[in-house]
Structure 1
Amino acid sequence: MTHEDAGHYAAKHPEAKIDSQIAEAIADKEKNGRITCAAAHAIAKKLSVPPHVVGMNIDLLEKRIHFCQMGLFGHPPETVKAITPMERVPQELEQAIRDALIDGKLTCKAAWDLADKMQMSKSDLASACEALEIKIKKCQLGAF
């Protein structure tokens, strides 16, 4: 959704209904209409539901997700990413990223898995992608 669509997140899911258990968990974690990426993923894990289901409920409740764990969005000021390009991407890391690409892009889930495999932070992996000009797409929560 575009910046102009802010506050109209439920429109992404015209047939969906709010899950009361997920909604209650979101209400417990949100502040000022926002919930962190980490809190949303914790809810998914606790309730044994896929992250996209929690993300859909966040949308249906017209809440915003912020503080992306990869540093891609929701970090003040809102208009900038929290990451900067890595100065030098090690060859092994570059190859692992390139091997995981689908249509020239890296999914959020693949990025998380790769960060875990390479024993590095999610934001460091995003920094490497930024240096390689590789886009991370398909947020696990559905934010992008």
Structure 2
Amino acid sequence: MNTPSKPSFKFYGKNSARTITAMFAMLFITGLMLLVRNSFDDIEPIADIANPLASSLALIIGVPIISFGLVIASNLDRRCTEDYTFQLMANAAQVAVITMLALNLLSSFDFLNELTGLRELQKDDMIGITLVSWATAYFIFRQRGLK
């Protein structure tokens, strides 16, 4: 009698770290694609001072750098969670939210947009920033640990 075989991956247990890592790699790539696409989007009104190439490059380089800085600066209470993978995801999510809020705040200052030539961030940019910074922080925490 043939018994059905178990799936080769799980969202829990021994292989969960690989599954989560693959998921965050896809989130990172999706976020980068959103940031680039939105910089060249003609549907949203873009200010005359905006340079689409400079905007996309600044976001691609700036989001991971800000995420990395916030990972290093974060010293949050991590005792309340038991599962290490959950801790990685939760702490990375906190960094992602703070990164998104910081970039949204900075892009709302008109004088910074005029000074740098970058555009004001749109709603889809927030999704891309959140995905890229969440994945970046997850990979940094996974590599360096939570301490």
Q: Same fold (TM over 0.5)?
A: no
Greater relative contact order, per chain length (Cα 8 Å cut-off, separation 6+)? 2
Larger Rg: 2
Greater fraction of residues in strand = 1
Q: Taking structure 1 as the reference length, what is the TM-score of the superposition? A: 0.31
Greater fraction of residues in helix = 2
Q: Taking structure 2 as the reference length, what is the TM-score of the superposition? A: 0.31
